[in-house]
Amino acid sequence: MTKQEVDTFEKQQAQLQGLHNEISVLSRKSQNDALNKFKLKFVNQILVDANILLGDDYKPFNDFEVFEDDDMPTNSDVAMMLTQYLNCFEKLRSDNVKKEDSYPQHWFWVIDGKLSDIRTVTPKIIKEK
């Protein structure tokens, strides 16, 4: 990954997590209600950006891009898809971070094939390399 991709990743992951939190609350209250057009516009905007960053290798479903405006998704549909995207973001992150040997509890992004000084949290998916 590049520094720009890391910056984009962190912004988009925060946006996805925020949307997921909000939509999950709606889903618990009324899971079968349709999401309104205002919220759907922002969900789709973030999904378009996420699809670009994730690419074919990390995108959750090859045949899904965004929700259709004509067929309004339910709160639970949107919450489910946002969960899938968050899981794929975590996989992308875990594949592009490493522990610093002198500080084994500290994780850093690998940028352009080299360990950077940009810290991140411990990955949820730890793959020994």
Domain borders along the chain are: 3-97
Can you give the pLDDT at residue 122? Answer: 87
Can you give the pLDDT at residue 22? Answer: 95
CA distances from 72 to 15, 67, 102, 125 (A): 21, 7, 51, 33
Can you give the pLDDT at residue 36? Answer: 92
Which has the closest alpha carbon to 13: 89, 80, 73, 78? 89
* pLDDT tens digits in sequence order for the chain, 129 residues long: 999 999 999 999 999 999 999 999 999 999 899 999 999 999 999 999 999 999 999 999 999 999 998 889 999 999 999 999 999 999 999 999 998 776 667 899 999 999 999 999 888 877 654
Whether residue 94 contacts residue 123, with contact meaning beta carbons closer than 8 Å, is answered with: yes
3-class state of residue 100 by DSSP:
strand
Which has the closest alpha carbon to 81: 26, 11, 12, 19? 19
Which has the closest alpha carbon to 113: 89, 91, 96? 96
- Neighbour-count burial of 95, counting CB atoms closer than 10 A to its CB (0-12 exposed, 13-18 middle, 19+ buried): middle
* Whole-structure pTM value: 0.91
